[in-house]
């Protein structure tokens, strides 16, 4: 089956999806992106993803197509993929502005790309028993709330985890846990759920916000406050969230067991609540 993708207003075979080498996304990582999940053929939390895309675009002065056009692209690649459960990647760069030049050119057409792929599911053992994480120094820029395609340091952090047999890296800035290489991070202290507050040091995760809402509905106290890595080692539970990982428990950090070394009751409740939320899409 030929994979069909979306590029600048057209649905075309993947092999025909070409952009100029000097597209500013290629030269300067001058672009933004979103990853949207579909469950049983229905896009999940689409409004939140599009709102974040708009917010990221405004931060970097990037003109993007209307939300309706972007939604059409997402639905179009999903329908053409034949997948009911899929992960859809959407990227918008500033586009092609001629020979390489610094500055922010005005009036050029953005490059818009979307593709639907099978969901990269985590290992079932990690979902059931917990994954392993390591900490890395967070030396990224101070605009992490922009979902930029410039992910070099995130990729290096992820590789640092893989190199030692772990599954995720947790960024630590001046002793404080900010977020994961490709996730948001939560810890449970005294039965309360803690996560770094929104702002320029973390990405405002869509799954993060849903989990906070689910926790509050479950009667779990939530504190959006910074916490130290040294304190995290003594947490009762740690888990990470993302569009594709959903709610993933962490059994150890830097080789130190978290709590009893198995997913705890708060994590389990939120995993179940999240599953109920996504399962409800099939009845809409």
Residue 173 pLDDT exceeds 60:
yes
Instruction: Say yes or no to pLDDT of 2 above 90.
Output: no
Catalytic residue among 37, 140, 147, 158: 147
> Which ranges constitute the DSSP H helices of the chain?
24-28, 46-59, 67-81, 124-129, 152-163, 206-217, 229-232, 265-279
CATH number of 4-117: 3.30.470.10
pLDDT greater than 70 at residue 282: no
Rounded distance between C-alpha atoms, residue 170 and residue 228, angstroms? 12
pLDDT at 261: 96
**Angle (CA) 265 269 271, round 5°:** 115
Average confidence (pLDDT) over 103-108: 92
**Mean per-residue pLDDT, 260-273:** 97
- Pairing relationship of beta strands 131-137 and 246-253 according to DSSP bridges: parallel
| Per-residue pLDDT tens over the stretch 196-208 | 999 999 999 999 9
Amino acid 283: pLDDT: 55
Quote the mean pLDDT of the chain. 97
Instruction: Looking at the structure, give the CATH architecture of the domain made up of residues 124-282.
Output: Alpha-Beta Barrel (3.20)
CA distances from 204 to 1, 22, 58, 185, 213 (A): 36, 30, 15, 11, 14
Query: Average pLDDT of 90-110?
Result: 95
pLDDT at 195: 98
Write the CB contacts of 162 (distance below 8 Å, at least 6 apart in sequence): none
Q: What is the pLDDT of residues 118-133, one digit of tens each?
A: 999 889 999 999 999 9
Which residues lie closer than 8 Å to 237 by C-beta, 6 or more apart?
Answer: 187, 188, 249, 258, 259, 263, 264, 265, 266, 267
Residue pointed to by tokens 């997402």: 74
Evaluate whether 4-117 and 124-282 have a shared fold.
Answer: no
147 is catalytic: yes
What residue ranges do the domains of the chain occupy? 4-117, 124-282
């Amino acid at each position: 089956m030929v994979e069909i993708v979306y590029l600048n207003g057209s649905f075309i075979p993947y092999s025909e999806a070409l952009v100029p080498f000097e597209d500013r996304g290629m030269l300067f990582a001058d672009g933004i992106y979103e990853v949207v999940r579909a469950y049983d053929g229905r896009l999940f939390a689409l409004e939140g993803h599009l709102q974040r895309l708009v917010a990221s675009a405004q931060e970097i002065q990037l003109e993007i197509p209307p939300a309706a056009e972007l939604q059409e692209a997402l639905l179009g690649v999903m329908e053409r993929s034949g997948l009911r459960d899929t992960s859809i990647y959407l990227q918008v760069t500033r586009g092609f502005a001629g020979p390489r030049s610094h500055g922010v050119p005005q009036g050029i057409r953005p490059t818009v790309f979307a593709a639907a792929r099978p969901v990269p599911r985590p290992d079932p053992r990690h979902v059931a028993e917990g994954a392993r994480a390591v900490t890395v120094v967070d030396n990224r820029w101070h605009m992490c709330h922009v979902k930029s395609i410039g992910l070099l340091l995130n990729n290096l952090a992820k590789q640092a985890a893989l190199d030692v047999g772990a599954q995720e890296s947790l960024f630590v800035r001046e002793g404080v846990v900010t977020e994961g290489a490709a996730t948001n991070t939560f810890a449970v202290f005294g039965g309360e759920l803690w996560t770094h507050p929104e702002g320029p040091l973390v990405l405002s995760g869509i799954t993060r916000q849903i989990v906070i809402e689910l926790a509050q509905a479950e009667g779990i106290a939530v504190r959006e406050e910074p916490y130290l890595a040294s304190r995290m080692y003594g947490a009762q539970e740690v888990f990470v969230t993302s569009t594709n990982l959903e709610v993933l428990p962490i059994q150890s950090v830097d080789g130190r067991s978290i709590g009893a070394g198995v997913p705890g009751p708060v994590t389990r409740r939120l995993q179940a609540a999240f599953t109920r939320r996504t399962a409800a899409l099939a009845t809409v």
